Amino acid sequence: IIAALLKYKKCKEKLVIIPTDDYTASVVDNNKDQLKDIFLLSEIVGGEAGSLTQLMNKSIQAQIARSVGLNTAKEWNISLRNENIVIPESIVFPCFCKPPESISGYKTEMAKCENISELREYLLKMREKNANRNFLVQEFLNIDCEYELDGVCIDNNVIVPAVSKNIIVGEY
């Protein structure tokens, strides 16, 4: 992707890159230093390469939400790196498991677990797929609907052209 983008070096004006998913956003963000003189990019103002990708972590997003007074699900980060996976006693059931960032896993790796034995079995299965990561376990919330707010911030101006209610969401 980066090699293809670097072919635009000779353009007289900066082009705009609008990533359409977390993976391409992360690739562009992690290569910001190579691309910033050629393109207008999504970025954290004053941030270095990779700073936008760090904010894709769901635990960091929840921490920011809590810091401004929003309610969030209880959550636990569990390492899959150890032979014995340590499951905190404070986990509530049912719970919902997912990779902490979409770029470190897949939607198909999300699961609802009803009890500790289901959770342990599931985490062992995820460790077999990729042991070099953490997994996020959250309090299960029965969500009736989901809203999406898309926008852009240019300098200090925030533009939110729409808020949409998702009628159908990916289910795995």
pLDDT in tens, 88-102: 999 999 999 999 887
Instruction: Say how far apart CA 122 and CA 128 lie, in whole Å.
Output: 10
pLDDT in tens, 32-76: 999 999 999 888 878 899 999 999 999 999 999 999 999 999 999
Instruction: Say how far apart CA 45 and CA 152 lie, in whole Å.
Output: 13
Backbone angles phi, psi at 125, to 5 degrees: -65, -40
Q: What is the pTM of this model?
A: 0.79
Backbone angles phi, psi at 98, to 5 degrees: -165, 160
In the three-class reduction of DSSP (H, G, I as helix; E, B as strand; rest coil), residue 36 is classed as: coil
First to last CA, the chain: 29
Instruction: Say how far apart CA 103 and CA 57 lie, in whole Å.
Output: 9
pLDDT in tens, 122-172: 999 999 999 999 999 999 998 888 888 888 887 788 999 999 998 876 655
Residue 104 pLDDT exceeds 90: no
Amino acid at 154: I
Residue 105 pLDDT exceeds 90: no
